[in-house]
Amino acid sequence: MGGPAGASVSKRSERAALVVLVTLATAVVLVPALASRDPLRIDDVVARRLIAPFARDLHGEFHLLGTDRFGRDLLVRMMLAGRLSLLVGFLGSVVAGLLGTVLGAFAGWRGGFVDRAVTSAADVLLALPRLVLLLVGVALWQPGFSTILVVLALTGWMGIARLVRADVIAVRHRPFVPAATALGASSTRVLFRHVIPNAIGPALVATTLGVGNAILLESGLSFLGLGIQPPAPSWGNMIAGGRDLLVVAPWVSLAPGIALVVTVLATTILGDAWRDRLAGER
């Protein structure tokens, strides 16, 4: 939407966002793997529970971000939750992006019945707010990782399909398309080799911007108890777990919330930066 005059992203914040995401991805893989204790195990609750950040429990173990009400280390749990959140956000929007690209491209390329079918399917799905669709979707199956992934993908493709469809229709009449056809390329080959590569830019940007949205939606569903189920940690259900500890132990809800904001912010900045670059190229 934002043209060149929009909030353009500086090189420095783009680099910072990239560094944050790479660091987070590394930490998410390494920290739980290196943890001294099983992050889901609960033992000696009295000695370990609700330790404040930067403090040691009665066993002398140091907890950088403190512990929750069952004495589990919050840093390790946050990183474990980060695995799920990043994976769900990334996979959910990439699958939605692929689905949207393929459907939108076929709709714009073939026209006629295919076009009408895809456009009306998108219209129907867009007539419900995405959160309502997600809620109805998770009501279908047992809540959990794969359910969220499927539902995110099935409710996230419509905007991208519209973008790609419009771009394919615009590209279809450029001279290189009849040229490729005249050289004997099949219709499918022209679509995938010549048309889609020229129409994919906005879809890539929208997919990147969708990652943050998907992460937020997953955390929201988990917060409501309809997403990732405890004891498996997710940033959303960790915030929910600290909901009645706001006075006693605010860090339990604070830390996963900050992780969420930082992650979503970083993906949004990257998406915006790529959009700026795309707008500059055109």
Partner 1 sequence: MRYHRVRSPALLRAFGRAMLLFWCVLSLTFALLRLAPGDPTTFLIPAGAGASDAVRMRAELGLDQSTGVQYARWLGALLHGDLGGSFVNGRPVRSAIGDALPVSVALGGASLLLSFLIGIAAGLIQAARRGSRLDATLTVASVLLAASPAYWLGLGAIACFTYLASSWSLPLMMRLPAIGMTTPGADLHGVAHLSDLVRHSILPVTLLAAIGAGGVARYVRTSALDAGGTDWMRTARAKGAGEGRVYRHHLLANLRAPILTLFALSLPGTVAGSVFVETIFAWPGMGRLMVTSIVARDYPVVMGCAAMFAALVIVANLAAEALLPWADPRVRA
Q: Which residues form the interface with partner 1 (CB under 8 A)?
A: 1-3, 5-7, 120, 123-132, 135-141, 212, 216, 219-220, 223-226, 236, 239, 243, 246-247, 250, 253, 257, 260-261, 264-265, 268
CB of 123 vs partner 1, minimal distance in Å = 6
Give the whole-angstrom CA distance, residue 279 versus residue 282.
5
Q: List for the chain the helix, strand, coil content (%; round to 5).
A: 70, 0, 25
Q: Side chain identity at 145, as an amino acid letter?
A: F
Q: Which is nearer to partner 1, 42 or 133 (CB)?
A: 133
Residue 175: φ, ψ to 5°: -60, -30
For 204-235, give the secondary structure using H, E and C.
HHHHHHHHHHHHHHHHHHHHCCCCCCCCCCCH
Q: Which is nearer to partner 1, 5 or 182 (CB)?
A: 5
Q: Which is nearer to partner 1, 25 or 265 (CB)?
A: 265
Q: Side chain identity at 229, as an amino acid letter?
A: Q
- Residue 56, CA distances (Å) to 34, 94, 150, 242 in order: 18, 41, 41, 20
CB of 122 vs partner 1, minimal distance in Å = 11
- Of all helices (H) and strands (E), which one includes residue 56? strand 55-56
Q: Which is nearer to partner 1, 130 or 172 (CB)?
A: 130
Give the whole-angstrom CA distance, residue 211 versus residue 87.
10
Q: Which of 146, 160, 170, 247 is nearest to 202 (CA)?
A: 160
CB of 132 vs partner 1, minimal distance in Å = 5
The neighbour count for residue 34, using CB atoms within 10 Å, is: 9
Give the whole-angstrom CA distance, residue 21 versus residue 35.
21
Q: Which is nearer to partner 1, 79 or 252 (CB)?
A: 252
CB of 135 vs partner 1, minimal distance in Å = 5
Q: Which is nearer to partner 1, 196 or 239 (CB)?
A: 239
CB of 238 vs partner 1, minimal distance in Å = 11
CB of 7 vs partner 1, minimal distance in Å = 6
CB of 62 vs partner 1, minimal distance in Å = 26
